[in-house]
Every structure is written in structure tokens, then in C-alpha cells.
Structure 1
Amino acid sequence: MLKFTGKEIRDLIISFIVIALAFSILYSNRDFNGILFIFPIVAIGVGAGFIFHELGHKFAAMHYGYWAEYQLWPTGLVIALVSSFFGFIFAAPGAVVIYSQGMEKSENGLVSLAGPAVNIVLGLIFLGILNSLGQVTDYNGYIIALICLLGTRINFFLATFNLLPIPPLDGSKVLSWNALVWIVAFAISVILLVVYGGYLG
């Protein structure tokens, strides 16, 4: 059963708002009016990408019988906001902390892989919706297309970023468990990001 503490819900909400704001600053080119316009649009892609990424870790850990709880990292939130003003995002707002006497390496690898895998699936869903829209001719269609475009980019970026083999990112734990699985997962995320998501511009 998926359970949340009050502190965990608070940390998720704060992290979500800050990360959505950071991506809004980035995509609006630091224009205040642009930030106000794009924030709710970006928030959908970030909300899906960030929340379900962390839930992927949490659900996978609890599947193995461990208690897992998301905790924000205040320094990471500040870095995300500051980096957005320089044209890139360092997205490390926090992490799911797993309480165990000692996880097996395979369990830790699969739990770590769950988050980026969720981002890849979400990115493909946004991409599928975007491709199904066809030619957009009205304002509502434009907004939906923009939501899907940013949702695609953000989720493929989050998958690739988190799969980097740099501690404490997910990729380092996946690589430590199984190098082949990491190579395949990272290659998929990079290809999707380059082909369909672009970078962050």
C-alpha cells in the first residue's frame, strides 16, 4: 500500500513548485511576463515528470518491502533556480530515501531505474499525443500542443539527466548493478532526447 507522511507531501509540493518555476524561467528566457504565461503549462509536464519519477522509486522500493519516503534537498532547489538563469537546469530537488538494513544490488539497481523509466514512458505519451494533434489551428489546440511539446522535452531530459553515471544520480546505481542495462537505458534516453526532445532551447 502506498503511504505518504505529511512531511513527504509537503516536500513533494515545494519541490514541484520550485522545479516548475526553474523550467519556466528557462523556457521564458527570464522574461517575467513569459514566466507567468508558461508556468501552468510547464507545471503539467514537470508535475507528471517529477511526481511520477519519485513515485516510481517509491513504489519500486515498497514492492520489495522497504519503507521509502521522498525528502527535498534545499541546496538542490536553490541550484535548480540559479542554474535556470544561466540557460540550463541542474535538476536535483531531492530524492526518495529508502530505509533498509541492506538492499541487494539488483534491488537497488531496479529501484533506481524505475524513475527514469517512468520519464521515458511519460515522454512517449506526450509525444504520441502531440503527433496525434495534426495541424493546430486554434488557441486551445496550441496550448495542448505546447503542453505536450514541453512535456516531451522535460521528461526525456529528466530521464537522461538522472541516468548520468554520476553519484548520487540514478545512473550510477544502475551502472553499479548492471552495466549492460545502464548502457541500453541511457542510450534510449539520449536518442529520444536528441531526436524528439532537442536540448533545452
Structure 2
Amino acid sequence: MMEFSRNEVRDLLIALVVLSFSFAIASVGIDAHGIISFFPIVVVGVATGFILREIGQKFVAMKCGCEAEFKLWPIGLLIAFATAFIGMVFAFPGEIRTFPGQITDEINGKVGLAGPLANMMLALIFIVIAALIYPFSLHSIIIHLIFLICTVGFSVNSFLAAFNLLPIYSLDGIKVLKWDAKIWIVVFAIAVIMMLSSITIGAENMVELLIG
């Protein structure tokens, strides 16, 4: 059974709140009213993406026979918050630490891969739900709000997947690359395509294209 310590729950909640505000600022700029209005929308995408990503990595680590715990990186959160003001969130909230510390590249790679894959699956679920409810969103404020949440969820999770797959120290990408370069290339390419689609085309326009 998966258990979370008090410190782990605290770290996850702090990271969730800071990341949510960071993505809200990156989306609407320095506008207090806009940030407050957009926060509930963005927090759903960040909450599902961030929490399930960490749960996925913890689950895989435990299945491989390791103990695992999320550890907050305060400096990384400061970087995420500061970069939000330039319109791009460089998120380094923390990571799943495995015990014992010395594990194989294969286990480390599988644990690292679980997070981005969770984000990519969530992004696809969000965009499918958005496409299904889009015709009804034109006639209902509540459904339109759900539609906005789903489009933001697609964009946030696509970004989180691509960003965390970068082959940079402490990110998941370097762990996957050390384990299997072919898997990293394929997954990273798909994640980048999803992220660029959300940036260049836009999630709402993608939905319109999907439903014709």
C-alpha cells in the first residue's frame, strides 16, 4: 500500500500551490484580478498533472523494490515563480527520492519515465474531454468553464512532460536517456510535438480542428 509521510504531503501541497500561481502568472501576467480568476482553472491542470506524476513515479519505484518519497526543492520553486514573470515556467519543484540511493540505471530510468508518461496521458484525456463537450460549451457557462479547464490541462501537462524530459541534471530526461536512448528520443519527440501544438496552434483551436 502506498503511504505518504506528513513531510511528503506538506511538500507536495506547497509545490502545488506555488506551481499553480506560477502558471497563472505566466498565463495572464501581472494582473491580480486575472491571476485570482485564472487560478482555479489552472490549479486543476497543475494538481492532476503534478500530483499524479509524483504518485506514478513513487508507484514505479515501489514496484521495483525501492522506498520512495517526494522531497521539495525550495530554490527550484523560487526559479519557477521568478520565471513565471517572463511568461515561461521553469519548474523544479522537487523530485522523488529513492532508497537505497544506489539503484540501477534501468530502475532509475523507469521511475523517471513514469512522470512524463502520466502527464502525456492526462494531456490526451483533457483534450479528448474538451473535444467531446465543446459543442455544449457554447450554451452553458458551467460546461464552458470545464472546457477551459480541459484546454489549460492539456497545455500544462504537455509542457510538464516535455520540460521534465529535457536531458538536464535532476530532470527525468537524463535518467531515461542513461537507461535507454531510443525510448527517450521517441517519448521526448512526442512530448515536444504536443507542447508545440499547444503553443503554436492552441488547445482551443486544436479542439475545433479535431471535431471539424
> Would you call these one fold, judging by a TM-score over 0.5?
yes
Matched, 1:142 2:144: yes
Structure 2 gaps, min length 5: 203-212
Q: Percent identity?
A: 45
8 A Cα contact 2:158 2:195, kept in partner? yes
Indicate yes or no: 2:74 matched with 1:69.
no
Structure 1 position 161 matched with structure 2 position 163: yes
TM-score using structure 2 length: 0.91
CA contact (8 A) 2:71 2:95 kept: yes
- Asked if 1:11 corresponds to 2:8, the answer is no
Map 1:1-201 onto structure 2 (within 5 A): 1-100=1-100, 102-135=102-135, 136-137=137-138, 138-195=140-197, 197-198=198-199
Superposed structure 1 runs of 4+ greater than 6 Å apart:
none
The structure in which a higher percent of residues are helix is 2
**Cα distance change on mapping 1:46 and 1:101 into 2, 3 Å:** closer
How many equivalent pairs are there? Answer: 200
Aligned counterparts of 2:54 and 2:22: Cα–Cα separation in 1: 18
CA distance in 2, matches of 1:75, 1:180: 32
Q: Mind listing any 5+ residue stretches in structure 1 that lack a counterpart?
A: none
CA distance in 1, matches of 2:93, 2:102: 25
Distance 2:183 2:152 in 1: 27
How far does residue 126 in structure 1 lie from its aligned partner after superposition?
A: 0.2
User: If the length of structure 1 is used for normalisation, what is the TM-score?
Assistant: 0.96
- 1:56 CA displacement: 1.1
Q: Over the residues paired in the alignment, what is the CA RMSD in angstroms?
A: 1.4
